[in-house]
A and B are shown apart, each in its own frame.
Chain A
Amino acid sequence: EDQVTQSPEALRLQEGESSSLNCSYTVSGLRGLFWYRQDPGKGPEFLFTLYSAGEEKEKERLKATLTKKESFLHITAPKPEDSATYLCAVQGSGNTGKLIFGQGTTLQVKP
């Protein structure tokens, strides 16, 4: 059964203190691993898609990496506006587009 586990559940950082969020997954035939950001009271906002081990993508202070078992979302010198819940999801084999989500990591960046 496809499964996604994110850690830590919550993370508090000081502004400028870099860290990483982890997403461990088991899936039959990975078709894509997705990172989303979700602000309180809003829908998930797309950040990255990774397709194969070794792939990396960057956007401003965020960098996502992928191995065969896990993905990391690295946050460099975070700012308070980076505070949000970060969701990881995988798409396995099949042609339905079904995403399996992790429970998310809630990040709080203090000024």
Chain B
Amino acid sequence: DTAVSQTPKYLVTQMGNDKSIKCEQNLGHDTMYWYKQDSKKFLKIMFSYNNKELIINETVPNRFSPKSPDKAHLNLHINSLELGDSAVYFCASSQGPKRGETQYFGPGTRLLVL
């Protein structure tokens, strides 16, 4: 049983296109996150939702828009894709945003913008 799943696993697209990445967790967690991992494997937080409420919104271009239809799902929509958006995007979830809650990560979506 997959705890945190993401689709698609790979995404190859042209500059200027709009794309979405979907994330689902079956752990019953209240909080979900989006991270970006660059070519140097550096993981950086982008967004977080707790009970469908946005609680983290880092310095990310407006072209990136997260949406949480319910507690188990967090999607990431990217408009007007740029070369620099190429990276691996990870979804994660935790019981809550409080002290020391472990975050569990999905398998990642590898985005390549040509």
Count of interface residues, chain B, beta-carbon cutoff 8 Å: 28
Say yes or no: is B25 at the interface (Cβ < 8 Å to chain A).
no
Are B100 and A31 in contact (CB-based, < 8 A)? yes
Q: Is B105 close to A, CB under 8 A?
A: yes
Q: Which of A2-49 contact B (CB under 8 A)?
A: 31-32, 34, 36, 38, 41-46, 49
B42 touches A32 (CB 8 A): no
Contact B103 A99 (CB under 8 A): yes
Decide yes or no: A43 and B41 within 8 Å by CB, A32-B100, A96-B48 being known contacts. no
Pick the contact of A87 from B43, B98, B101, B107 — CB < 8 Å? B43
Shortest distance between the CB of B76 and any CB in chain A (Å): 15
Q: Provide the main secondary structure of the chain A interface.
A: strand
The distance from the CB of B18 to the nearest CB of chain A, in whole angstroms, is 25
Binary per-residue interface labels of chain B (8-49) against chain A in the complex, 1 for a CB within 8 Å, 0 otherwise: 000000000000000000000001010000001111110010
| B104→A46 contact, CB < 8 A | yes
Do A98 and B100 touch across chains, with their CB atoms under 8 A apart?
no
Taken together as a complex, chains A and B put the C-alpha atoms of A32 and B103 apart, in Å, by 11
List the interface of chain B (C-beta within 8 A of A).
4, 31, 33, 40-45, 48, 50, 55-56, 90, 94, 96-108
